[in-house]
Structure 1
Amino acid sequence: MKNEITPEQIAEWKAKHGDVWKITVEDKVAFLRSPDRKTLGYASSVGASDPMKFNEILLKNCWLAGDMEIQTNDSLFLSASSKLAQLIEIKETEMVKL
C-alpha cells in the first residue's frame, strides 16, 4: 500500500463508522468498516443467486482504504473472502415470552 494509514485516520473512521477492520493477505492490506443493513440486504438478495457476489458486494461497500489488488486479483479476493463473515457481528440476544 503506497500511503500508510495513520492512527489518526483509523480514529476518524471509527468515529464515523464504528468498528474498523484490517485484513492482510500476503503483503496486501485492506481496511474495512462493518456493513450496514442496506449493504447486508443488497448483498443477501444478490448473493441468493450468486454466492460469490455476496462477498464482492460486502468487500466493495465496506472498503475504506487499501491495496485494490485484494478486490481485483482472484486469489487475494478469495483469501479475503474467507474472513468477511467476521464483519457481521451478531450480538447475544434474549427473547422471553410474557
Structure 2
Amino acid sequence: MKTKKMTVTQDQINEWKEKFGGVWELPIEDKTGYLKDPNMNDFKRAVTAMQKETEIAFGEEMLSALWIGGDTEIKTNDDYFLPAKKTLLDFFKYPDAVTNDLENRQTEILIGDERCVVRVITREDLRMCEKKNPQSKPFLSQEYLFDMVVTEKTEGFNNKNNPEIRFPLYQELEKLQNKKIGQLKKL
C-alpha cells in the first residue's frame, strides 16, 4: 500500500518556528518529518525510556517528543524509523566548553557567551548529589552538582532546560572530576 506524501508549506514552517523556535527537517528517502529543537526535558524523557527499556525506546520517545509534523511513516514504519532513530543522535552534538584554571582551585567554564566559575568538586559533593537523586533520574545529579559547586555564573546558566548550555557544562563537570588519569595494570 502506497501512502501519499505529506506537503508542508513555508507558511507552516514559519508558524512552527514562531511556536517552537528551531525547526528541523528530517528527510528519509521519500518521506520527511519535521522536528522542534530539543530541550533538556525531551532528552530526559528519552534517556529515561532507554534506561527502563531499550535503545529503540529512546528513539521512539525522542521522535515522539520532538515531532511537529510530516509523514507519519517515519514514526510507524521500521524502514523509516530505524534511520531516523540513528539520525536523532546528532542532537547530542554541541560545541565543547572552554575551561581555564583559576586561583584557589577554581575553574572558569565558557560556553558561547556564557561564563561560570566552579570550585573544586569533592567526593562529598558527589555523595550528596547521589543522595538527592536516589532514582538516578537522568541529568538530575549533574544539576545538583552544578548548583553546589558554582560560585558565579551569567544568566544563561539559570536555564536548566537549555541543552546547548547543559550538555557542554555536564561534560566539563565530568572532566573536572577526572583530571588525573588512572589505569589498571595486571602484574
**Which residue in the other structure is 2:50 paired with?**
47
**Which residue in the other structure is 1:94 paired with?**
98
Larger Rg: 2
Question: Residue 47 of structure 1 contacts residue 54 of structure 1 at CA under 8 Å; is this kept in 2?
Answer: yes
Percent identity over the alignment is 33
State the aligned residue count: 97
TM-score (norm 1): 0.85
Of 55-64 and 20-29, the range deviating more from structure 2? 20-29
Paired residue secondary structure (1:9)? helix
Structure 1, unmatched stretches of 5+, are none
The yes-or-no answer on 1:11 pairing with 2:14 is: yes
Query: Higher relative contact order at CA 8 Å, sep ≥6: structure 1 or structure 2?
Result: 1
Moved over 4 A (4+): none
Question: Residue 35 of structure 1 contacts residue 88 of structure 1 at CA under 8 Å; is this kept in 2?
Answer: no
**Which residue in the other structure is 2:87 paired with?**
83
Cα RMSD for the two superposed structures: 1.6
Question: Residue 49 of structure 2 contacts residue 57 of structure 2 at CA under 8 Å; is this kept in 1?
Answer: yes
**Which residue in the other structure is 1:58 paired with?**
62
User: Aligned partners of 1:62 and 1:50: how far apart in 2?
Assistant: 19
